[in-house]
Structure 1
């Protein structure tokens, strides 16, 4: 079996793992502790993927820097002690990674999650071992755009952008892939929407891990 790309980069939350329980639990606790109303589930789910500080600034422009910093501290306390483990690898992902690896495909994680919690999740769930490259944001809870995580992997691997694909579930993944020049496939089992990804130029979508496997195979 051969594959369509030499390098496959995966987002983490909503692509490799269903991290909603731990992330939304941490967000709820942080909102409560700073005395803000807890937003509805649909709003909380939009925080899954982008850096927390960026999403707070985008969604709550009236929240001052002191409140943002307190929020992030409470969120981190929850996530580091509990939230990272309130998580699960999507069924079929480990088999897919093994199949890609056996076929000689290079594997990478490109996640906007900060380095410390990303490493905790990847190590705990056995996802670090098959990866050739791991690209994360620093621990500031800020981000510069997904392309800044994709481009270093392309440089380190020596794989041209035309032979690489970013797999993700949000508009941030789709936009980053477009700006980095790689292919993109959106997974609809995650936390973003097809419409948002299409607005960033996405054209390819799959509804399951099995469909993702079929997309990556060179027919």
Structure 2
């Protein structure tokens, strides 16, 4: 992997949500498929939907339109998609070691943020199902910024909220959109190959680290923290 960020104490860790901390691919494929079938008249193949994962929902719901739909039409589709994701939420599963990752950061004094392509409405519904996300220090959704991933806006906002404008910041995600977002925001790009992202595409995006299993991510983060410890927070 290409390493473009200097080593040293990690100042903050930004986590993508879907495909990184939570295995929500089945719920996303089902909900987005329902939405595209309703508004475009056909349900794309699963692999086509998977390739969209990581983009803002406002882009996903319009991907099959030959002419860009109006803003009102996009808002209607987004609202419908949010209801379908909620209907399929029973398909979600938290990845192994997710809570350990967050606890490790908190216990080591490292602030964390979730940087997600979910809308704020989606995330608030997710929060009610997964109260462990209260353990992060900040959450940035696609609707909180003008440009979602792969633009750096969401990661830059997270850095601002965590007050880490400089120093080593790690961004962990499962898609090439996450890697591009991390790079553009001056973060170290750690990619996970167990989410929705295509492994070959992830490798081609040249992340600084690439992990096959959540356990490997936890081990690498613990090792990096042990090399440059900082004070724990209450």
**TM-score normalised by length of structure 1:** 0.85
Aligned residues: 215
Unaligned runs of at least 5 residues, structure 2: 1-7, 228-234
Superimposed CA distance per residue, residues 72-124 of structure 1 (whole angstroms, 9 cap, x where no aligned partner)? 343222124x1344311111111221122111111110112111111221342
Deviation at 1:15, TM superposition (A): 0.4
Asked if residue 20 in structure 1 is aligned to residue 25 in structure 2, the reply is yes
Counterpart among 77, 80, 96 of residue 74 in structure 1 = 80
Residue number in structure 2 paired with 1:207: 212
Deviation at 1:196, TM superposition (A): 2.6
Cα distance change, pair 118–212 in 1 and its aligned pair in 2 (3 A): same
| Farther-moved stretch of structure 1 (155-164 vs 115-124) | 155-164
Residue number in structure 2 paired with 1:179: 184
Report 1:87-166 matches (<5 A). Answer: 87-138=92-143, 143=148, 145-166=150-171
**Alignment partners' CA distance in 2, 1:32 and 1:17:** 25
Deviation at 1:193, TM superposition (A): 2.3
| Farther-moved stretch of structure 1 (151-160 vs 36-45) | 151-160
Deviation at 1:212, TM superposition (A): 0.3
Q: Secondary structure at the match of 2:133?
A: coil
**TM-score normalised by length of structure 2:** 0.80
RMSD of the TM alignment (CA)?
2.6
| Farther-moved stretch of structure 1 (84-93 vs 163-172) | 84-93
Unaligned runs of at least 5 residues, structure 1: none
